[in-house]
Structure 1
Amino acid sequence: MLHRERQKDEGRMDVPVIETSDPVWRDIADQIPVPAWTADRNGRLLWTNRPWQDENGAVSSGDLWFCSLAAETRGAAVDEWRAGTASGRPFVVRIGDHEDGTVFSVTPTHPDAAGNCRWTAVATGDAARREAESARAATRAELNTLTNAMPQMVWATRPDGHHDFYNAQWYRFTGVPEGSTDGEGWNGMFHTDDQDRAWTRWRHSLATGEDYEIEYRLRHRSGKYRWVLGRALPVRDGDGRIVRWIGTCTDIDSAKRAAEQNDILSRELSHRIKNIFAIITGLIRMSARRMPAMRGFADELAARVAALGAAHDLARPHSDISRPSVGEATLHHVLRDLLAPYAAEQWQITGDDVAIDDRGATPVALLFHELATNAAKYGALSTADGRVSIRTSRRGGVLMIDWRELGGPAIVGAPDTVGFGTRLATLSIEQQLAGTITRDWRHEGLAVQIEVACDALVREPRTDAAD
């Protein structure tokens, strides 16, 4: 190979000389894994690529390309250079012996107006090939080290989806022999109930270039199936063509089973609370039978208790399994259901209505159920003359909701402590819907303002909403 063995003139700047003005050409030349340079007929360097600079250092105006050669190889290389440039045709320059030396393929450019050619040299031959292969091997070793250090299973495929790489975590998790899941063998690792779904989603990504994401059960080395989150992204070249897919599998089995257990407990707790509402309703109706004069009052009270139970079911935290279906509901529809337990003359909903579905219904219901409950205990709904107004206004893609209480007990200031329900309601708006909520503890009553993106209230944005 080349050796740096040259003298620098005192006071001369040591900087690369790059004469070409085409940045794309320079970038391409810098990325090839072998040295390349351009010189005039006398050997003065006009341009060098990055691999040349990495081996021989920066060059200065007037430097000769062969100044960096070892003394024992310089003479023969200079002779070949002079003979080749004199011929005016492409030629080769060999540096070093036939086994370990480097061969440069030298090609003349079109002569300028004065008849002078520039000569471009690119390393070729076995030595250059070995150097390129060594660089690729080093890159692959770095990739293996990086992926094996990750806690996730990492895999890669060709553009057509053929799997040709798995990291050590994949084989450690699955326990299968190395290489046994290459190609389409990976699909046999999925639970039979998940195979078609995983294949369909993967083929869709291959056909469209969309990101791949799916949850499925993967066979563990123990023989049991564990839930994993599979993700993959396409790697594209400069023209946008997919050249690779890089994917990961993350073990989410413990988290998924914990979520399922929490959902079971939540549904059981909700079931018991609803039973309590049913018992209260039954006791009211039993008492009314003994006091016929109170029948009308009892029926109204029982209806309000039932409505409160329905509001509770809508407002409680839900999972994907237990989440209620609200169909083509709107925000005003949900708010009316939540306020139905309270006297109709005490609350009013006005303004712009927007679409809402199960994605936005639960966090919205949780917040307004908490506001209504607190108003019934301490605020405007705790007195016969109290009133609550809710006004909604849409500004572009943002929904503004104003909750105002009037006619309730006077407020002397913000409470010293914040209850769990209030904190949970706030989190539901800020975290689940990425909205904001502010409270103003006015003397005449609480004022609350909520801002949330309209698209956050639905899974698939709709262009219209019924009043």
Structure 2
Amino acid sequence: MEKASALSPRQREIMELAAQGLTDKEIALRTGLSVGTLRSHWDRMRARLGASSRGEVIARVAEDVRHSLTKELDLLHQFLNERRTFVWTATAEGVVDYVNDYFSRFSGLPREAIVGQGCNLLMPSEEVEVGRRRWREAQRRGHGYRASVSFRSADGSLIPHEIEVRPLEVVDGKVARWIGTASEAIEPFGL
């Protein structure tokens, strides 16, 4: 039995249309195939995947896609957690719901203390209100922003950072999720 990724592009197109609930006749019209040729494709897909029905073909392809996406997501999380850059996501209201491991390594705080609080927890008190104003303006306009801020490290040092916040997901013209990054500010060469 082969993986669903071994299907031809035409077979994947057929499978995707079937997963949308289209009939053989509708799939044939969309793909330009005859119904007989379409059924031959289904027979080859069932044989290739060791499936007994069209539904099983779709289920196996869906499982293969889920496994592939999970693997890619795991690699992305590994990459984000190894960076010396803060990465976070927030809801439309600004509630931080994800932070990468660097937040904890830098601040000495557990992730649980940072989720829900975000960067304000690491900023000196005199910068917090400025940060909140920037955030409210970004929410109001639906646009991201860049800024220079200082974050307090685990040893108490204030380290300048360049932050960038931008919309991650927009639904019906409104920002539904945000993503932010912050990296240590680097002085230009030659100064």
TM-score normalized by the length of structure 1: 0.32
Q: 1:68 matched to which residue of 2?
A: 45
2:109 to 158, 176, 181: 176
Deviation at 1:130, TM superposition (A): 5.6
Instruction: Report runs of 4+ in structure 1 exceeding 4 Å deviation.
Output: 1-4, 34-39, 127-133
CA distance in 2, matches of 1:145, 1:68: 35
- What amino acid maps onto 1:142 in structure 2? L
Aligned length: 181
- CA deviations over 1:71-128 (Å, ceiling 9, x no partner): 9754xx3xxxxxxxxxxxxxxx653xxxxxx6xxxxxxxxxxxxxxxxxxxx46xx78
- Cα pair distance change 1:47/1:160, threshold 3 Å: farther
1:40 to 10, 17, 24: 24
1:203 to 136, 144, 151: 136
For the Cα contact (< 8 Å) 2:11–2:45, is it kept in 1? no
Q: 1:16 matched to which residue of 2?
A: 10
Larger helix fraction of residues: 2
Q: 1:255 matched to which residue of 2?
A: 187
- CA deviations over 1:44-95 (Å, ceiling 9, x no partner): 962799xxxxxxxxx9651312332139754xx3xxxxxxxxxxxxxxx653
Q: Which structure would you say has the larger Rg? A: 1
CA distance in 1, matches of 2:156, 2:104: 14
CA distance in 1, matches of 2:105, 2:78: 15
Q: 1:152 matched to which residue of 2?
A: 85
Q: How does 1:33-182 map to 2 (within 5 A)?
A: 35=19, 38-40=22-24, 46=28, 61=34, 62-64=37-39, 65-70=42-47, 73-74=51-52, 77=53, 94-95=55-56, 123=58, 133-182=66-115
CA RMSD of aligned residues (A): 4.3
CA distance in 1, matches of 2:148, 2:135: 12
CA distance in 1, matches of 2:110, 2:183: 20
- Cα pair distance change 1:40/1:158, threshold 3 Å: same
Structure 1, unmatched stretches of 5+, are: 5-13, 19-25, 50-58, 78-92, 96-101, 103-122, 257-261, 263-467
For the Cα contact (< 8 Å) 2:3–2:64, is it kept in 1? no
CA distance in 2, matches of 1:140, 1:73: 28
Tell me, yes or no, if structure 1 residue 245 matches structure 2 residue 189.
no
For the Cα contact (< 8 Å) 1:158–1:243, is it kept in 2? yes
The percent identity for this pair of structures is 19
- CA deviations over 1:350-407 (Å, ceiling 9, x no partner): xxxxxxxxxxxxxxxxxxxxxxxxxxxxxxxxxxxxxxxxxxxxxxxxxxxxxxxxxx
CA distance in 2, matches of 1:231, 1:237: 17
CA distance in 2, matches of 1:139, 1:73: 26
Tell me, yes or no, if structure 1 residue 234 matches structure 2 residue 132.
no
**SS state at 2:165 partner:** strand
CA distance in 1, matches of 2:20, 2:173: 28
- Cα pair distance change 1:17/1:201, threshold 3 Å: same
CA distance in 2, matches of 1:221, 1:243: 32
Q: 1:306 matched to which residue of 2?
A: none
CA distance in 1, matches of 2:114, 2:9: 51
- Cα pair distance change 1:48/1:176, threshold 3 Å: farther
CA distance in 1, matches of 2:61, 2:170: 24
Deviation at 1:155, TM superposition (A): 1.6
- What amino acid maps onto 1:46 in structure 2? A
Structure 2, unmatched stretches of 5+, are: none
